[in-house]
C-alpha cells in the first residue's frame, strides 16, 4: 500500500509541479482496482509483449493513461530493441518478474511508429523504434520497483530473466492519445 501511495505521489508531482492543488475543471477521480490490474496481468499472453490500456483520462495538465505491460524472457546478449517516446513520460511500477532496463539518448536503425496506428493513437503518442547500441544507463529492476522514464529517453531491456509485468502511467501533456 505504501508503495502505491508513493507511486501516486510521484505521478502527481510530475503532472502538477506546484503541488497538489485540485484541477478546477477536472474533479472526478478515476479508480482502477487492484483486481483490474491483476486481471490484466493474468490475461497477458506469456510468450509475447502485451500492452493493455486500462484508462486514459483528462486533467488540466494533459491526459494520464494507466496500463499493464507484460514482456517475456529476453536472453542476455540479444539485440536491445527499444522505443523512444517524443513527448510522453512514463512511470512504471513492476508487479512481477525481473530484468535489466537500459536507457540511451539515441538508437540505431530508428523507424517512426505509424502515426495512425493503434500504438501511437492509444498508447504512447509519437514514438520511434530502434536498437540501443550505446548504453548510457543499465539498472536491474524487479517486483516492487518504480521507474521514471522522461520523454525522449530511448529505453529497452538487455535481459529479462523472469517474464516482467508492470503497471505503466503515461503522462501525455499534449493530449495526443485517445481517451478511454
128-158 confidence digits (pLDDT tens): 999 999 999 999 999 999 999 999 999 999 9
Check whether 171 has a pLDDT greater than 60. yes
The domain locations on the chain are 2-172
Model confidence at 166, in pLDDT bands (50, 70, 90)?
Answer: very high
Q: Which pTM value belongs to this model? A: 0.84
Check whether 30 has a pLDDT greater than 70. yes
Which CATH number applies to 2-172: 1.10.287.130, 3.50.50.60, 2.60.120.10, 3.40.50.300?
2.60.120.10
Looking at every residue in the chain, the average pLDDT score rounds to 89
Who contacts 173 (Cβ-Cβ below 8 Å, separation ≥6)? 61, 62, 87
Check whether 114 has a pLDDT greater than 50. yes
Among candidate residues 84, 149, 71, the one with its CA nearest the CA of residue 112: 84
42-64 confidence digits (pLDDT tens): 999 999 999 999 999 988 889 99
Look at 94 and 4; give whichever has higher pLDDT.
94
Amino acid at each position: 500500500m505504501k508503495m502505491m501511495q508513493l507511486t501516486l505521489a510521484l505521478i502527481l508531482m510530475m503532472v502538477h509541479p506546484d503541488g497538489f492543488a485540485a484541477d478546477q475543471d477536472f474533479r472526478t477521480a478515476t479508480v482502477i482496482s487492484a483486481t483490474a490490474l491483476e486481471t490484466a496481468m493474468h490475461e497477458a499472453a506469456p510468450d509475447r509483449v502485451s500492452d493493455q490500456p486500462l484508462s486514459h483520462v483528462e486533467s488540466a495538465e494533459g491526459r494520464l493513461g494507466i496500463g499493464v505491460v507484460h514482456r517475456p524472457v529476453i536472453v542476455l546478449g540479444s539485440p536491445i530493441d527499444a522505443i523512444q517516446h517524443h513527448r510522453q513520460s512514463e512511470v512504471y511500477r513492476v508487479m512481477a518478474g525481473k530484468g535489466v532496463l537500459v536507457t540511451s539518448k539515441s538508437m540505431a536503425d530508428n523507424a517512426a511508429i505509424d502515426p495512425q496506428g493503434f500504438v501511437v493513437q492509444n498508447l504512447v503518442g509519437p514514438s520511434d523504434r530502434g536498437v540501443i547500441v550505446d548504453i548510457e544507463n543499465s539498472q536491474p529492476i524487479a517486483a516492487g520497483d518504480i521507474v521514471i522514464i522522461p520523454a525522449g529517453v530511448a529505453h529497452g531491456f538487455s535481459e529479462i530473466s523472469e517474464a516482467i509485468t508492470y503497471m505503466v502511467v503515461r503522462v501525455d501533456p499534449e493530449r495526443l492519445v485517445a481517451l478511454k
